[in-house]
Chains A and B, each alone.
Chain A
Amino acid sequence: MKINIKKIAKLANLTLNSEEEVKFEKQLTDIVNYIDKLNEVNTTAVEPTAQVTGLVNVSREDNSAISSLNQEDALKNTKSKHNGLFKVKAILEEK
């Protein structure tokens, strides 16, 4: 199996240089060929396990709200802000 590294990197929001592309493509292909081993296992009629606790219906009542972070704390770790808002480069909305 071969990995389309460019496509995967884009989907994963990662930027790779061409050297990295070659390296990761090889490493990922090796790993994928290894994990492909699971195809040896017969899983007909086997239910998938997503969680192991067996819990269902864990929720809370919609009681009165707790106090939120203040604006200063919310923005404490950002490098780019403006008037209480996080600031990013313009996201092009329309062509």
Chain B
Amino acid sequence: MKYQPVIGLEIHVELNTKTKMFCRCSTKYFGEEPNTHTCPTCLGLPGALPYPNNQAIEDCAKIALALGCEITNFSYFERKNYFYPDLPKGYQISQYVGPFGHDGYLDIKSEVRNTKFETNSKSKISNSKRIRIRRVHMEEDTGKIIHQEVEGEKVSLLDFNRSGIPLVEIVTEPDITSGEEAKAFLTKLQRIIKYLGVSDADMEKGNMRLEPNISLLEISNSRPERSRRVKFRAAGIVSGDARPISNDKLPSYKVEVKNINSFRFVERAIEFEQKRQTEILERGEIPVQETRGWNETKNQTVSQRIKEEAHDYRYFPEPDIPPILLEQSVIDKLKHEIPELPDEKTKRFVKEYGLSEYNTQILTREKTTADYFETAVKEGQKFKIESKHIANEIINKKIDINQVLPAQLISQIREQKSNIQEKLTDEDKKIINDVICENDKAAQDYKNGKIQVLGFLIGMVNRKLQGKKINTNIIKQELENLLK
């Protein structure tokens, strides 16, 4: 029996607003003393009320827009009711019926093993795959629980500094089929969020918390229905194996792995679950629908005590906050504020600067690097320095962009260039001639059409020049002349 993993992701992103979601407490609590960034509202004191932060609402909508979501023009906050010690009000202000964004997508590169050449397992085909986004909604973070032993007694300690930090929840459809894909999705999502500047998206600080849900679908060996494939192909959405699974086909259970804080662990948790669930299914059993945790030391997922036996969150409209109307003018403003995102930037860099895909990937990984590169290119144009040269300089010399200003970089390049000889002296010509004589075989090979030996000969010339820098093109020309 073959099983196909059906994986969905829930991602919580802490926004980097100055103040919390529903109160004016500072969000800069990292590394501060516990319970020093709280007020009646985020501590859930009697009588306190929420007052929403407009920036957070706009940031959430911006994420939704960047993920191609439709925006819910008229929406409202709701209360999600459940009891847990880290939830001070006994409910979380969240969105249920009307998330700010819904029905979006994110295209990732999915490396599918090339099944036609089974013999060569390393052969992969890189495909674009669309992961659908179900919803993007706004909510508030909870306090933090620290498990500790105090005076020989196991206790849990609560710090509410984090309580009320604006949190955006992104939920995908179960379109992901491997740990690798999940990682690719998350990496790209993180880049987009950083580009938007709405969150530091720092995994170590817990700015992004990940919850994959994983189940396995039994697949028959027959090809998937043609109509579906054709339909999605035609829409330019899907290629290769990437096909959304209709809801009626989804497995009857779902295993959620909670609060993972690294992409690598998500990948591993998925791989672990895949193995674990396969074993259960092969025994003819069905895995238990449950929430599991990721144990870093054991490198496996472990069953967690279920939060509340019956998950009945009793959502109802938050009476303390009037509805939110995201008017078209606001949406337009937000769209305008969204910077060029990694995908578009990559395409443009390849086209505009003629850079390699590889170099482009490196330059666009962080928006600051990409911006640095483009500033340098502009500066370089004044001195006719090629953008490729600048890209190489940034990447190969690992320029610290926080230390060297783009203009400084350009003058460095110019300095190097001015030391390069553009003309050959007689002595140089002699050296080149010598090299040809000394490497007779290579010279013959060249004459026989094996032009790639030119590189070898240039190398030999450079060695003989002993540090003297001559424009490679000139050496190349001279060699070609002599070998005619």
Contacts and interface: CB of A to CB of B under 8 A. Distances in A.
B150 A82 contact: yes
B24 interface: yes
Interface in B117-165: 145-147, 150, 153-160
A7 B312 CA distance: 11
B251 interface: no
A88 B84 CA distance: 11
Given A69-B43, A75-B35, A88-B85, A61 B76 contact: no
Contacts of A11: 308, 310, 312, 314
A65 B25 contact: yes
B19 A74 contact: no
B63 to A, nearest CB: 16
Interface in B288-322: 293, 295, 302-305, 308-310, 312, 314, 316-317, 319, 321-322
B85 A91 contact: yes
B304 A93 contact: yes
Interface in A52-81: 53, 55-66, 68-71, 74-75
Interface in B306-341: 308-310, 312, 314, 316-317, 319, 321-325
B348 to A, nearest CB: 32
A57 B36 CA distance: 30
B269 to A, nearest CB: 14
B178 interface: no
B19 A90 contact: no
A86 B155 CA distance: 10
Contacts of B36: 68, 70-71, 74, 84
Contact of B18 (A55, A62, A82, A95): A62
Contacts of A92: 305
Given A11-B310, A65-B19, A69-B38, A95 B302 contact: yes
Contact of A59 (B35, B53, B304, B308): B53
Contact of A94 (B17, B40, B304, B319): B304
B83 interface: yes
Interface stretch (B54-62, B181-189, B350-358): B54-62
Nearest to A7: B310
B145 to A, nearest CB: 6
A61 B55 contact: yes
Contact of B322 (A53, A64, A85, A89): A53
A51 B43 contact: no
A31 interface: no
B240 interface: no
A59 B54 contact: yes
Nearest to B37: A68
A66 B153 CA distance: 37
Contact of A93 (B18, B293, B317): B293
Contacts of B157: 82-83, 85-88
A64 B156 CA distance: 32
A68 B25 contact: yes
Interface of B: 17-19, 24-28, 33-40, 43, 51-57, 76, 83, 85, 90, 145-147, 150, 153-160, 293, 295, 302-305, 308-310, 312, 314, 316-317, 319, 321-325
8 contacts: A50-B317, A51-B319, A56-B323, A56-B324, A57-B325, A65-B28, A88-B156, A93-B293
Given A59-B53, A88-B85, A94-B302, 20 more contacts: A13-B83, A59-B52, A59-B54, A59-B324, A60-B51, A60-B52, A63-B18, A64-B18, A66-B25, A69-B38, A69-B43, A83-B34, A84-B36, A84-B159, A85-B146, A85-B158, A86-B159, A87-B158, A92-B305, A94-B303
